[in-house]
Chains A and B, each alone.
Chain A
Amino acid sequence: MSRAISAKFKGLILIIAVVCFVAGVATGWYIKPTPPPPKPTLVVIGPYSGSEMKAFMPVLEEAEKELGVKIEYRIYRAEELSTILPSHFAAGMTPGDVILFCHPVTIRKLAEKGHLIDLTKIIKKDKYPKAILDAVTVNGKLYGAPWVANFKPGFWYRKSFFEKHGLKEPKNWREFVNLLDKMRKVLGKDDVIASPDSAGWPLSDIAEHFIIYSSGLKVFEKLKTGEIRFTDSAVKSAFKDKLVWLIKYGYFSEPEDWTTIMEKWWKGEYGLYFMGDWILTMVKDPEDLDVIMLTAFEDSASKAITACFPDFIIVPKYTKYPKLAKELAAFLASAKAQSIRVKNGGCVATHKDVSPDAYPAAARGLAEKIKGMEVVFDLDDTVGGEFQTTFWDQLKRLWVEPEAVDEILAEIESKQPTP
């Protein structure tokens, strides 16, 4: 009896096995294999729009190929990110997986609160200037990978404009004022220097240029730490003797949106225009550009120019793809990615392995001109916070009310850090 059950049981198992086999084969035959999961999409946030974005996109296209991911680029201005990021992060969210952001002070604050991923292991520290890395290092950990940087060398002019009117580049203050007076005759108006305005920063770049020119690097650096105050005589004279003098006598225009006034300058309504080197991507013919640096004059207190902090690549803790985001950050900071970007002009690489040949001709011309000049980070970005906003806003006032310079400097000083 038990032997009969056992035989029946074996038969049943055999039948089940055959049915399973046939069903399996049939299913495999008719059902298509599951498609591979779609490529993840990483959201990259940066401040670049227009021509700068055009110059940046090839880098992201290369990253897509290299990492096998899709990348969606979204534009947010740095001023917007300063307010958006803290609130998003506080809620445990992020607007992007990889973010390009230029305010090291805010980056450090975000890192201290634990919102950012440590990038120490993906960055070779010896490949970048130490000062840049130090700006985003908290407790020995690196929270920002350096992207490209920009210089703010001085007053740009069109070579063709100078040639047409027989104007020459000045070598000292006296020649500079003579040049401005000649421009007044050529243009038939007093305000020959365009005053580009945004949140206030191009005006702050001009003011910083004048501080270095009149009072030198030591004063400039001590202003950052607060060891020298804005109402100290060295700073007052830096403002009053040259900058305020030019504003008072109407050489500078009324502040106007920096892109609008750039077009006017390019058309020949103004003779000079102060801007960072990203201007090389914004004009039709960058080879027609040259720059006058007061800080290269023979009577300059220091031979130096300011540079923006680079945009730092940060990875928020709240990204869905931390591994991929870190890989993308590493790629963007690499010599390969930076070479692609600098080829399109308007910036300089922070990675030491980027070859000089990677730069376009106009940028090489600028590089030649600033050779031997010391490069320092600008004042307002270094200090940041309430000081920066006040500095920008008060300079806007200085441009239209130069006689209030003492009061304006006192207001700026009230927000200056103390040592």
Chain B
Amino acid sequence: MKSKTPIFFLAPAMAIIALFVVYPIVDTVRLSFLSPDGKFIGLNNYVNVLTSNDVLNLKRFPFTHPPWGSLIHNAVWIALHLPLSLLLGLLFAVVFRNVKGSSIAKSLIFLGMVTPMVVGGWMIRFMFDRDLGIVNLLFRLVGLSDLANKTWTAWPQLSMLATILGAVWVWTGFSMIVYSAALATIPREYYEAADIDGASGFQKFIHITLPLLKPATIVVIIMTILEELKIFDIVFVATMGGPGGSSSVLALQMYLMAFKYFEVNKATAIAVLLALLTLPPTIYVARSVRRG
């Protein structure tokens, strides 16, 4: 006869998970199929959300500048923010690998990561300001006055780019730290053997470092994609999704629907869509962990 002790010990945790995780998820899904007066309306909320220009604006995408709808904006975030923050993190980790005193530089880069996102959002407003912005100053110095003489967050052509580039500064610290830790685990003997074989620095990087960094790269990619899909605070503070919805993202749409327009059912439909989008990377991580 099996012992009932494990069930006894699991019960409190399961009860808490059921109450605070399972129930809200089930109720969110339930609400997404209802009208504001509680009637079952099938997929209507999903259809309304996906046919709204705020979420998917295929009339403009890809031939004109944003607004393209928040769903596409999230995809653009992944397309730009992920490679930039990943490559920069890798670059810094490799460059600072054997440099004395590099921990100070690493700490400075990691500062973006420990800075609250809201502060990050405010800093983006200043970084890309026509008069005060450091980015504008750099463009002015290289003679690109068209980009220098605009407050980026005020222009639909540039506002999403400003939030993405600002978030790269915030997020690079994460990939740098993950890569730094992974680099420390690569045995020195591999490089010594490559040296004996006469391999160049570039060859060592391509044939030893990069393959052995694969697990770390997967972690960085998955975590960054999850962050990009649920990005909210930086956009909320820096641009509020504007101008004209040109930098809006799904999480911000969900917030506006729920707490500004009080359209809870449509907001839950967006929440479910967002959860479905984050599901594949999450499952992949879970499987990787199980495989060890």
Contact = CB atoms under 8 A, between A and B. Distances in A.
Interface in B168-208: none
A408 to B, nearest CB: 7
B28 to A, nearest CB: 16
B262 interface: yes
Contact of B261 (A200, A386, A411): A386
B20 interface: no
B122 to A, nearest CB: 12
Contacts of A87: 259
Given A86-B262, A385-B261, A256 B151 contact: yes
Interface stretch (A25-33, A174-182, A388-396): A388-396
Interface in B3-60: 53
A396 B244 contact: yes
Contacts, number: 63
Given A86-B262, A254-B130, A254-B150, A389 B243 contact: no
Contacts of A394: 243-244
B154 A389 contact: no
Nearest to B244: A397
Contacts of A199: 240
Contacts of A255: 151, 154, 243
A414 B53 contact: yes
B53 A400 contact: no
Interface string A381-407: 000011001000110111111001000
B260 A83 contact: yes
Contacts of B155: 400-401
Interface string B240-269: 111111100000000010011111000000
B241 A393 contact: yes
A85 B68 CA distance: 32
Contact of B156 (A83, A385, A397): A397
Interface residues of A, number: 26
A109 B262 contact: yes
Contacts of B241: 393
Interface in B136-185: 150-151, 154-156
A33 to B, nearest CB: 50
A81 to B, nearest CB: 11
B151 A254 contact: yes
Interface in A185-231: 197, 199-200
A411 B248 CA distance: 15
A137 interface: no
B154 A386 contact: no
Contacts of B240: 199, 393
Contact of B242 (A82, A83, A393, A404): A393
Contacts of A408: 244
Interface of A: 82-83, 86-87, 109, 197, 199-200, 254-256, 385-386, 389, 393-394, 396-401, 404, 408, 411, 414
A-B pairs, top 4 by smallest CB distance, nearest first, are A397-B244, A396-B243, A397-B243, A83-B259
Interface of B: 53, 130, 150-151, 154-156, 240-246, 256, 259-263
22 contacts: A83-B259, A86-B259, A86-B262, A87-B259, A200-B242, A254-B151, A254-B154, A255-B154, A256-B154, A385-B261, A389-B260, A389-B261, A393-B244, A393-B245, A394-B243, A396-B243, A397-B156, A397-B242, A400-B243, A401-B156, A408-B244, A411-B245
Given A396-B242, A396-B244, 18 more contacts: A83-B259, A83-B260, A254-B154, A255-B151, A255-B154, A255-B243, A256-B151, A385-B260, A389-B261, A393-B245, A394-B243, A394-B244, A397-B156, A397-B242, A399-B243, A400-B156, A404-B244, A414-B53
